[in-house]
Amino acid sequence: MSCCPPGSLPAAPTTSTKTPTIMGGTPVFFYDNAASDVCILVVPDIYGPDSGRTKDNCAKLSATYKVALLDVVEDYFIDSDNVGEKIMGWAQARPFSAILPKIQAAVIHLQANHGVTKFAAMGYCWGSWVIGKYATDESSVLSAGVHCHPSWVLEQFFNGPGSGEKIADGLRSPVLFVAAGNDPDWVKPGGAVATTIAAKPFGARSKFVTFDKMVHGWMCRGDISIPEVAEGFRAGWDDEIVPYLHSIFQQDV
């Protein structure tokens, strides 16, 4: 059992000279935008903050908002790891109960020191599970969550088969789900998560899209030297994520 469906993209490690800022004890790669009082909290996939275009995407997003890439666990996967063999033990050693205080500390710091008054979150794969769990907590400050190829299936390592889709029951804010073709049907339009959220007060402000030709991981790890992947990334970013966040915060004004 893995967090990623069969045929998903492999690790795409990168390097960066950007160093984290410690915010309330939490390492954060911070991309400031002095003109914005909105901050997007970003949680990476299991390969960490240097996975593929994760930091590049943060830099792009900071043209409009402040962005805080949260480094909430230690010892991410590396490209030589067998994810299927290790993922259960890795995930169970990093329960959400241990992650939540790190998110809360960063949020308090951002509010107190950077003038942030509104938040959304974006998560890739495992990071989507993290922000989904956070959005169910009574301390959540999120106006919305963006879930790129979500790996909510990880919830089964804590609460058994079928528990991933039930995260939606406790969500307190709207979502955008950007799924790949090989992601499970229950995270796609018309699936169990979408059905649950449609019945919530914020259902009309939520959206589910599937990129059938894209493979799980493409928004951060896809090879954009391949034209089809580049177009899939552009469409996910420019046609879905950016307009969705704009719609959320325009409505909040």
- pLDDT score recorded for residue 80: 73
Work out the mean pLDDT of the chain and round it to a whole number.
94
Residues in the chain: 253
In a domain, 4, yes or no: no
- CATH (domain of 101): 3.40.50.1820
Residue at 202 is within a domain = yes
| Residue 5 in domain | no
pTM, two decimal places: 0.95
Average pLDDT of the segment spanning 108-131: 98
Task: Indicate the pLDDT class of residue 252, thresholds 50, 70 and 90.
Answer: very low
Domain contains 143: yes
| Residue 197 domain-assigned (yes or no) | yes
Mean pLDDT of the region 100-128: 98
Query: pLDDT at position 81, please?
Result: 75
Domain range for 149: 21-250
Give dist(CA 209, CA 122) in Å, integer: 15
Q: What is the pLDDT of residues 1-27, one digit of tens each?
A: 567 766 667 777 788 889 999 999 999
Note the pLDDT of residue 5. Answer: 66
Under DSSP, the state recorded for 7 is T
Paired residues of 30 in beta bridges: 68
Q: How confident is the model at residue 178 (pLDDT cuts 50, 70, 90)?
A: very high
pLDDT at 79 over 90: no
Looking at residue 6, what is its pLDDT?
A: 66
Query: Which of 33, 21, 115, 113 lies closest to 70, judged by CA?
Result: 21
Per the structure, how many domains does the chain have? 1
Task: Decide if 196 is inside a domain.
Answer: yes
Give which of 110, 92, 98, 107 is closest to 72, Cα–Cα.
98
Residue 8 lies in a domain: no
Euclidean distance between CA atoms 249 and 40, whole angstroms: 11
DSSP calls for 61-87: HTTTSEEEEE--SSS---TTS-HHHHH
pLDDT at residue 196 tops 50 = yes
Asked if residues 231 and 224 have their Cβ atoms less than 8 Å apart, the reply is no
Helix (H) / strand (E) element for 183: namely none
253, pLDDT greater than 70 = no
What's the pLDDT score for residue 244?
Answer: 98
| Burial class of residue 88 (count of CB atoms within 10 Å of its CB; 0-12, 13-18, 19+) | middle
Residue 84 has pLDDT above 80, yes or no: no
Residues 214-238 pLDDT 10s:
999 999 999 999 999 999 999 999 9
The stretch 163-185 carries a mean pLDDT of 98
The answer, yes or no, to whether residue 162 has pLDDT greater than 60, is yes
The predicted-structure confidence for 28-41, as pLDDT tens digits, reads as follows 999 999 999 999 99
Q: Which of 95, 66, 72 is nearest to 26 (CA)?
A: 72
Domain for residue 13, yes or no?
no
